[in-house]
Structure 1
Amino acid sequence: MTSGLHDQDLPRGLPGMISNSSAVAAAVAVAAEHGVRAREPVVLNDSFNLRIHLRPAPIVARVPTVTALGRPRPADVLRRELEVVSYLCGLGAPVVPPSDLLPAGPHLRDGVVVSFWTHVEHDPDYAVTPEQAGRALAGLHQALHGFPGRLPYLWPVLEEPLRLLDLLDGQVEADVLERLREAHAGLAERVEGGAVQAVHGDAHPGNLLATSSGLLWNDFEETMAAPAGWDLACLLRTTRLDGQAAVRAYGADPGDPGVRAFLAARGLQGTLWMLVRALRFPSEADTARAALEAWLRDPSGATR
């Protein structure tokens, strides 16, 4: 069996893909309509989403780019994120808040969806310890337990991969694509059931920002109704720290059989997103191929 992206087939752009210039222009225009002048907008991060600091204002605009490929209604995703984070802010939970200098959104301008967040000074080189990550996640789950809103059940696990698999048709070997589809179908059956609550959805330590006020959770785009084991699988899969130690600090057993299905689902989800990301960033094809090869060797999600 061969695998990997066909290098010659990798497009330099995708139909409907939002350019950085269009995203920045839309964010600046919406901000201006609400009295905020961004004289020096700066792209902070361009990966799955585009994050733009609307300098000199302490505002970060977030625009779905790669993520919009797998989400036909990105505005709905941003709306759920804002609802959950606003709830957490009301509790005084340690999260990066939406901006209070203008309506946080989501806004739609010239086909671009954008939300606005408070710019928080943080140390990107700070190494979160396993103990900090585990305790932070336990506190977050306690706060999220009372969220009164409706959230879709395991949507990034059950629904989103189907769209990603369709995008990869013709971009990966046919036999590999079939194996990915079969794995998703099997996991969809395994992850059903169990106690459900609102969870972060992407609870790895890269979404914990080290600030002068302590560690703040960020990026709730994948928030959903799910067993807490999903977020524990996110910790176990990270390469930023000892995931098993972090899960123990959370107060759970990293060897719990109930987490295994989520670990495998997280491994598949991450692999699919890496492959789709390479459609926008052809320079990432080798990294995406390596992720795919790792998954093919061990689809359990236990290794990376």
Structure 2
Amino acid sequence: MLTPDDLSARTARAVSAATAAGAELGLQVDDARVLHDMFSVVVHLAPAPVVARVPTVLPPSYQNTPDVQAAQQRAELAVASRLAEQGHPVVPPSPLLPAEPVRRDGFSMTFWQFVETVSDAEPSMSERLEQTARLHAALRDYDSSDLRFWAPFANIPDGLAALQGRDDLLPASDLARAQREWTVIAPVLTSRGAFEAHFPDVELQVIHGDAPYYNMLTTSRGELWSDFEMVTVGAVESDLALLGPDDVATYNEAVTALGLRPVDQRVFRVTEAGARLAVVAALAMAPELPPLQDAVAPMIETLRTTPELHEL
């Protein structure tokens, strides 16, 4: 496990890399300030109105494949750019820099427009779910040819494999349960053809990929969509995984008003299982991010108390 000193040193390296990259691209950076530090270090390159997102903790599938990471970052920038151009409420890439990932000192980073957040705001979940419905409507016709199929689920097998023999992170009985369930759902979550054959009436489209109702910023300009790091092709159900029935009903009402289909409960059941396993598999990154152990603990308990899927 990395120590607190190790984590602080990594954050400092990320800030230094972002500052140097910004300066090389012509920004004035006198007072770089860390806004967030978890899987990525998010840095305001003040006084420039630019935020650098510097991923520092990567899933096993990214660690030795920088080209895969860069391709995902390009997809994120492209989707956010198009939404912004169409007038949708999104945090856009910085107009001061090219919308391309920049590699510096071992980090691949992206640059975004700085927006002032409202710290004491209490977001409305129902309004955010209505925004999620509008996001799905906005992404419905987006060209998906350059996007991966369900990118968030692609990290599950490597994550579970890395947890083998790590009872200190995940007991063997829990790992065995996770691996059995992954065997059941993997075919339709890793193959577009298999999904379409099993669920012929459920169309696929571009989706946010990571709980869009959570990844919104409350700003003086209203609620803005953000963090499209896992943008992907999939079914809208996976953007709603782990929500309760009342929240799903709110989304269904909003999406029906837009002329789109409500949630398919068969697909929702499968993507909920996938979402649980994705969180548990993320424990493979705990040696690099020790707070993950406490963060994932409730999901392990959920895994234990949720009936296991034995068939689709």
| Fold match by TM threshold 0.5 | yes
3-state SS of 2:287 partner: helix
Q: Could you list the runs of 5+ residues in structure 1 that have no partner in the other structure? A: 1-9
Q: Distance in 2 between matches of 1:222 and 1:228?
A: 13
The one-letter amino acid of 1:165's match is L
Give CA-to-partner distance per residue, 1:228-253, whole Å, 9 cap, x none: 2221326x16xxx9633542343365
Cα distance change, pair 21–56 in 1 and its aligned pair in 2 (3 A): same
Aligned to 2:47: 56
Q: In 1, Cα distance between the equivalents of 2:186 and 2:51?
A: 35
How many angstroms apart in 2 are the aligned matches of 1:182 and 1:262? 15
**SS at the partner of 1:66?**
coil
What's the offset of the Cα at 1:68?
4.8
Mapping for residues 128-139 of structure 1, pairs under 5 Å = 128-139=123-134
Asked whether the equivalents of residues 34 and 41 of structure 2 are also in contact (C-alpha less than 8 Å), the reply is: yes
User: 1:26-105 to 2 correspondence within 5 Å?
Assistant: 26-71=17-62, 72=65, 73-105=68-100
Report the Cα offset of residue 160 of structure 1. 1.2
User: Would the aligned equivalents of 1:81 and 1:221 in 2 still touch at CA under 8 Å?
Assistant: yes
Structure 1 residue runs of 4 or more that deviate by more than 6 Å after TM superposition: none
C-alpha RMSD over aligned residues = 2.7
1:192-207 paired onto structure 2 within 5 Å: 192-193=195-196, 194-207=202-215
1:247 aligns with 2:256: no
Q: Are 2:117 and 1:156 aligned?
A: no
Map of 1:279 onto structure 2: 287
Higher mean C-alpha displacement, 24-33 vs 119-128: 119-128
Contact 2:216 2:225 in 1 (8 A): yes
Corresponding letter in the other structure for 2:251: V
What stretches of structure 2 of length at least 5 have no aligned partner? 190-194, 197-201, 257-261
For residue 151 of structure 2, what is the amino acid of its counterpart? W
SS in 2 for 1:67: coil
SS of the residue 2:58 aligns to = helix
For the residue of structure 2 that corresponds to 1:282, the secondary structure is coil
Q: Is 1:113 aligned with 2:108?
A: yes
CA distance in 2, matches of 1:83, 1:293: 37
Q: How many residues align?
A: 284
Q: Look up the match of 1:213.
A: 221
* 1: CA distance, partners of 2:247 / 2:25: 43
1:116–1:75 CA distance, 2 compared to 1 (3 A):
same
Relative to structure 1, the CA distance from residue 42 to residue 161 in structure 2 (aligned partners, 3 Å threshold; closer, same or farther) is same
Alignment partner, residue 169 of structure 1 = 164
Moved more, 188-197 or 93-102: 188-197
Q: Which moved more, 1:181-190 or 1:53-62?
A: 181-190
Structure 1 counterpart of 2:112, one-letter code = W
For residues 22-81 of structure 1, give each alpha carbon's deviation from its aligned partner in whole angstroms, at most 9, with x where no partner exists: 211111111111111211111111112111111111111011122354423321221110
Counterpart code for 1:251: V
Partner of 2:199: none
Q: Is the 8 A contact 2:57 2:289 kept in 1?
A: no
CA contact 2:49–2:113 (8 Å) conserved in 1: yes
1:230 aligns with 2:238: yes
